[in-house]
Structure 1
Amino acid sequence: MPDSRTLSIAGWVASIITIACALVLSLDGNPPMRWMFVAWTISNVLWVWYGAGIKSGQVLASQAVFVLIDVIGLVHYWLY
């Protein structure tokens, strides 16, 4: 199990990536979606790790669903 400092860093990095992706999406009419899904996947994986570390089933479950959605987006934008 990761220590609390490592989990805190993961939470902050995940937050920053999530906010940055949301800002790009809201400000750019044609965002680079394939790279956005890469960034969101990294962010959501960090959130899963964070949720597991703080033993929050709600965070873990919701972010696990988002990771699955990210995989769909990655397949769509990178393979089709």
Structure 2
Amino acid sequence: LVVKSLGLLDSYWALILPTANNAFNLIILKNFFQNIPSSLEESAKNDGCNDLGIFFKIVLTLSLPAIATNSLYYAVT
């Protein structure tokens, strides 16, 4: 019904969007990001790193195992 109300019938988006947001995977990533110590971000800011640099160089690098886990879950689905 949601796909029909959004006007996505007979399109590839009707296959992609309903499976793109899985609550279980979202909870896994949320908990993983909350467990990253804020002291890492603070020390990176003290070293002169901006928000995008912190995200790409620290947070994204540390979260590769969680992203790989979510990718495997989506592949199995």
Structure index of larger Rg: 2
Q: Same fold (TM over 0.5)?
A: no
In proportion to residue count, which structure has more helix?
A: 1
Q: Provide TM-score, normalisation by structure 2.
A: 0.30
Q: Provide TM-score, normalisation by structure 1.
A: 0.29
